[in-house]
Amino acid sequence: MKIKFTKMHGAGNDFVVVDAINQTIDLTPDQWKFIADRRFGIGADQMLVVEKTQSPGIDFRYRIYNADGGEVEQCGNGARAFARFVSDKGLTAKRAIRVETMSGVIEPTLEDDGRVTVDMGAPILTPEQVPFDAVGLKSKTEGDDTIWPLEVNGNTTWISVVSMGNPHAVQIVTETEAAPVLIDGPVIEHHQRFPKRVNAGFMQVVDRHNVNLRVFERGAGETLACGTGACAAVVAGIRRGLLDAPVAVQTHGGELVINWAGPGLPVMMTGPAVSVFEGEIEI
């Protein structure tokens, strides 16, 4: 079957985006993995599939597949790329678009300056719902946050656990460029205390409104940026009493700006969304 796609990125987190409204898309995890392959396929961190929805008051559904072929609940940078895609393709004339994902409804809005702001919904802060297995662990309180000891490569790493619909383990590091992202990231991603695996964030606090962040993503490895990871890291930093909103998050692929007014309230993320090229692939 031939599939038309658009290659996009949000702060360097790159995507293959497909319109499943005007073409039939029904691929296996191995076929998604092939598309994501940077040598044998197109190459991407995630694949985004745009679908119709019957849900009242909702404009679209969008599905997210990681480079390992697995479908996941949420993708923050992907939400911005999705909004750019449906607008550019004329699938909607709206600038504020309500889209349902596996983990609920989010609302990206196309800004006049070319960036996209997404209401990512409220973070989930109960460990069991992340999900994180805290049984038998002795936590510490830091500000309003609870941090947990995780055994990683023989060291104890203290983490915040946050879900943005997808699971995140956030640690504070002195300097992101010296952090063992590629050594500890895979161990945290597959840690037994995360039954659905986890995205591992490494955050350096520069000042109360600025951080550097690297994320070893579940199912994709280290990416140049992680939108839900930036949301989770800022939520953790605010709860720990280290940050004040808004927070500019510097990633290897660009800047994301995160706003959050506290528990139960939505996390707002603003950042770039860029179309790079269009193509067609036989699969």
Q: Looking up tokens 């656990």, which residue turns up?
A: 161
Q: Regarding beta strands 46-51 and 13-19, do their DSSP bridges make them parallel or antiparallel, or are they unpaired?
A: parallel
Closest to ligand API by CB, 41 vs 271, is: 271
Q: Regarding beta strands 210-217 and 221-223, do their DSSP bridges make them parallel or antiparallel, or are they unpaired?
A: antiparallel
- Which residue of the set 3, 179, 226, 247 is catalytic? 226
d(CA 139, CA 148): 5
Closest to ligand API by CB, 6 vs 46, is: 46
Q: Is 41 annotated as a binding residue?
A: no
- Which residue of the set 48, 72, 75, 99 is catalytic? 75
**Residues engaged in binding ligand API (CB under 6 A):** 13, 45-46, 66, 72, 75-78, 166, 199, 217-220, 223, 226-229
Q: Is 77 annotated as a binding residue?
A: yes
Closest separation between CB of residue 216 and ligand API, Å?
9
Quickly count: other Cβ atoms within 10 Å of residue 278's Cβ: 10
Degrees to nearest 5, angle at CA 131 with 127 and 133 = 70
Closest to ligand API by CB, 185 vs 227, is: 227
d(CA 216, CA 234): 16
Q: Is 217 annotated as a binding residue?
A: yes
Is 231 noted as a catalytic residue in this protein? Answer: no
Closest to ligand API by CB, 75 vs 273, is: 75
Q: Is 210 annotated as a binding residue?
A: no
Q: Is 228 annotated as a binding residue?
A: yes
Q: Is 100 annotated as a binding residue?
A: no
Closest to ligand API by CB, 163 vs 176, is: 163
Is 75 noted as a catalytic residue in this protein? Answer: yes
Q: How many CA atoms lie within 13 A of 138 on its CB side?
A: 1
Q: Which residues are annotated as a binding site?
A: 13, 46, 66, 76-77, 166, 199, 217-218, 227-228
Enzyme catalytic residues: 75, 226
Q: Which residues are annotated as a binding site for substrate?
A: 13, 46, 66, 76-77, 166, 199, 217-218, 227-228
